[in-house]
Structure 1
């Protein structure tokens, strides 16, 4: 019944371009005139689930520019939060009263879809109130959302080059979704690649790299570290299986917990940040880290003691994003029904109910390698989904270095020496691993100029050091 109704709707909607009812004509608080159209509405992905999207067309040549999907992680965090706080064209200040232009928005690269997923996140909802989700259902719902977007909402974009991008738990969301999209060449004829920032590709590797990372960043006192290495790891910290040791209520699990509790007043998403930004990111920062610890289901991991980042410095201010998106006039402008509840950056309910079934996405990567282009990038001072995790994950895929490519070759912002933006390793089968120097977990927020240059050059197959054309 649902499939028939969706098909019938598609026959009507597919006959014209861009849904006029979703066009945002007057965004409250805006202090500039956007030179692009943007749309906010819903994609019906099942008989009960409605996922909210916000689509920002490209600044230039939207009729030919690529289309990018952006997914924030969590699981349970909003991609509209990513729009306002990271890579979208609209940033909010003055306690949610003013919307100003982000000069490094990714719709300078292409048309960008921000999808709030799964149901229960942000403005997305389930009509029956059931917001349970898993890696499998999230991938299927996101796939159905893309079908609805390209077939029924914006059919004129279906033939554009298409990329799936995101960060954090996007390391699970994106590969599981990309496998479905890559297999459907009828509906996605121009699916070109994925770009994943600070992705959680492997839970075991995340824990096994975390302890040495903490130690060599000066967060752990030597006596405790040496005790764990000597008595739990047979003297070898680098090959120690901390993940397995934490899967039991043992003395070693207790000692590793104590290691992971060090640096309690630091921001685990960026060890060198001096203040939380006034953009509503604090709740998301605590949520994502705690969710990943909690969802690992390790018996010996004491998540209630995870106090890293719990204390807010005095410079932390009010939550601009949440305040703005819950204004009645803003909700009306974005076509949000009155029945939809309060917007939050991350949903506690979705996070608690979410079932993680993929603790490693090596299989999905192997399916995608050679079929699409892959960019995996990392801010190098994030401890939650750290660069060492992804370095080891990529190495485990068994790829060779691309001919003529140096391991860890520098790339530069604006092609200027000595502005080293990070390091690049190019592999066979179209995979690039890139670090962003001095960035934390949220790369488009911490290093917006470098992030824009990175994604532009990836999509256009250019040297990462080349400046973005004006």
Structure 2
């Protein structure tokens, strides 16, 4: 049955390849498409697609996936890398402002913000049995969504597609990449993936809490030794495949750093800030008021559906047992096949900190693991004149062939929010080159180019 469906879908996609230019609705000065795509006979996933401000008919498609698990991609759209940001002021009773984002990623690409898994954002489950619990269910939904999207919007057939996201998207993106690699669908052109402050491989990321905390003076040496002991037990239980026990041990060790889990000692998403609100640390930013408002819902043709769910605890709970799994291993075949992979981390984030990202990328087994690990972090973006701070470098990068790790200075968990210019230039360069070049690499490339030009002149 699956083969028949795929064959029928492929024939339909081929028949629609030559359709005309994309059409969407106006959103102030941008054009967008909002729609639902069926993933099975009952359930649908919601998305908003902002067309490129540059060349929507030729620019690549970036699919943005929010973390959580269970948080809506409208967070990324309106607070990170979308065409407009939403600001809220209670004193204006309440006044909600949308501000043009000069560093929106749709300056150079078409950006699709997907609400998944079911139960997230505007993607409502049919009933409580529609929540997803397994990797296979998540993978099936995403692949069905992509097939349905390409069938309905065939202009994107064979267009370069980039999967990007942050936090728990460090689970989603490797999983979906593996699925697309296995399917080898000729109409799906996966051109690269980018994971920001991702939760990818807990075995290496849990102990990195201790490393990061000690370096940033969040704990003293005696506490650090206690945490190290707890994390060693945590890793042992992971190896013994006792996920619930290992999670309890890891979290208990983490609590030594955080203190009160309701009001931690610092903002877990940005250690420079205090945690002034329970659990998530951030207060009301007006996004829920704006997205729930009649004006916005009418604009996206979503007035007949239920309430928008920013972060759904039911989705989070349903995927609890997957939290301890290693998803980095799913990148091995794609890396070996040459797929560009970018792992970036804001260096002020605690919960998915850059030391953990560095650790799991070095531990990842692939054909060029030793070559990648032989590289050292080098300055990136020497000629940047950042608006947000007085530094000329955006961070440090380590890259070999198609695999890049990027530490971003002075950014928390949400890199495009804290360093929009760096995130903008990072993604633009990654799409153009398939990697990030350090200052040293750029100088070497420039010298080589000058040498080639000189030899050419001499030959003439």
* TM-score band, normalised by shorter chain: 0.7 to 0.9
Match in the other structure for 1:63? 57
Distance in structure 1 (CA, Å) of the matches to 2:396 and 2:208: 19
Among 441, 458, 461, the alignment partner of 2:413 is: 441
Q: 1:431 to 1:341 in 2, by over 3 A?
A: same
In the alignment, what sits opposite 2:392? 419
Q: 1:76 to 1:413 in 2, by over 3 A?
A: farther
Encode CA deviations 1:34-93: one digit per residue, 9 max, x unaligned: 3xx211110111112110000011111111111111101111011111101111102112
1:149 aligns with 2:149: yes
Q: Map of 1:316-465 to 2, 5 A cutoff?
A: 318-338=284-304, 340-357=305-322, 359-371=325-337, 372-398=339-365, 399-401=369-371, 406-412=375-381, 414-415=383-384, 419-428=392-401, 430-461=402-433, 463=437
Task: Name the residue aligned to 2:25.
Answer: 24
TM-score, L = length of structure 2: 0.80
- Structure-2 separation of matches of 1:4 and 1:406: 46
SS at match of 1:330: helix
Structure 1, gaps ≥5 residues long? 234-238, 277-281, 288-308
Name the CA distance, whole Å, in 2 between partners of 1:388 and 1:396.
12
Q: Highest relative contact order (Cα 8 Å, sep 6+), 1 or 2? A: 1
Return the offset for 1:351: 1.4
**Structure 2 Cα separation of the partners of residues 446 and 88 of structure 1:** 14
Q: Write the distance in 2 (CA, Å) between the matches of 1:410 and 1:456.
A: 18
1:401 Cα deviation after fit = 3.1
SS in 2 for 1:195: strand
- Indicate the larger mover: 417-426 or 374-383: 417-426
Specify whether residues 6 and 24 from structure 1 end up closer, same or farther in structure 2 by C-alpha distance, changes over 3 A only: farther
Tell me what 2:34 maps to: 40
Shift of residue 107, structure 1, vs aligned partner: 0.6
Question: Alpha carbon RMSD of aligned pairs, Å?
Answer: 3.4
Q: Determine the C-alpha separation between the residues in 2 that align with 1:330 and 1:253.
A: 39
1:354 shift after superposition = 2.5
How far 1:274 sits from its partner (Å)? Answer: 6.6
Describe the shift of the 1:401–1:51 C-alpha distance in structure 2 as closer, same or farther (beyond 3 A): same
- Measure how far apart 1:363 and its partner are: 2.4
Aligned to 1:91, the other structure's residue is in SS state strand
The alpha-carbon distance between structure 1 residues 208 and 85, as it changes in their structure 2 partners (threshold 3 A), is same
